[in-house]
Amino acid sequence: MKGSEGKLRVAAIGDLHVMEDSVAPYRELFTEIAGAADVLVLCGDLTNFGKTSEAEILADDIRACAIPVLGVLGNHDYECGQPEKVAEILHEAGMTMLGEQAVEVEGVGFAGVKGFMGGYGRGELAPFGEPVAKAFVDEAMNEARKLENGLRSLRTERSVAVLHYSPTVETLAGEPTEIYQYLGSQRLADAIDRFDHVKAVVHGHAHHGKYEGKTPGGTPVFNVAQFVLLPLFGRPYAVLEV
Ligand SMILES: [Fe+2]
Ligand SMILES: [Fe+2]
């Protein structure tokens, strides 16, 4: 069953933070989601420390999920220094890892990256001075460029941008303003706002942020960190019709 007017029902959840002592932590939830949506998008921090043992546990739940699963890693998935191993385990379980490549699901495009920090507006860090400061900003620029390339490769009229870090401060409300610049980068929004076909942006990372916001260009943005969604909806995932 599809959503209204033939739209794709996109379930989204971020910040799963699977730990190595968990037992099938998302098995039941993914079964519920498969009954409520056509595709499941995971917005990073899939594991708590980026351990392969944590990824294997989530991989089993992904294998048992009856709808397509796609998404991006988060900063926690990098903690053990082996994000490519985490991604490989999840990919082998059937999850489509966004990044260099974008995908189409039943006419709707999906492009995504983890993103990076760096701030917004006047608070955006510039690539100036020490090499390490430039390298930091380079990372934010590279992620934005990857996102832009993914979005440009799509030929769909409707698409979804999938991130871990936030492209806007609007969905950070509730977090301390002092840490906004570590929760995302406006460079991600700059990439998104170049394309009319992006109908929604989903991200995680800001556990204490706000569900809804917009990019400066007006694209709807949803913070789907499960800790934001649970008190709001009584369930830890969002369903968007795209
Ligand atoms: Fe998180
Ligand atoms: Fe995070």
Joined tokens for residue 206: 């800001």
d(CA 112, CA 92): 19
pLDDT digits (tens, 9 = 90+) for 48-59: 999 999 999 999
**CA 33, 41, 165, 107 torsion: positive or negative?**
negative
CB-CB contact of 140 with 116 (8 Å)? yes
196 Cα–ligand 2 center, Å? 28
> What pLDDT is recorded for position 5?
82
pLDDT digits (tens, 9 = 90+) for 175-209: 999 999 999 999 999 999 999 999 999 999 999 99
Residues near ion ligand 2 (Cβ under 5 Å): 45, 74-75, 205
> What pLDDT is recorded for position 6?
85
202 Cα–ligand 2 center, Å? 13
204 Cα–ligand 1 center, Å? 7
d(CA 209, CA 212): 9
> What pLDDT is recorded for position 213?
98
pTM for the model: 0.97
> What pLDDT is recorded for position 1?
53
206 Cα–ligand 2 center, Å? 7
Residues 6+ apart with CB under 8 A from 11: 33, 36, 37, 39, 40, 41, 67, 237, 238, 239
Residues 6+ apart with CB under 8 A from 28: none
pLDDT digits (tens, 9 = 90+) for 110-133: 999 999 999 999 999 999 999 999
118 Cα–ligand 1 center, Å? 17
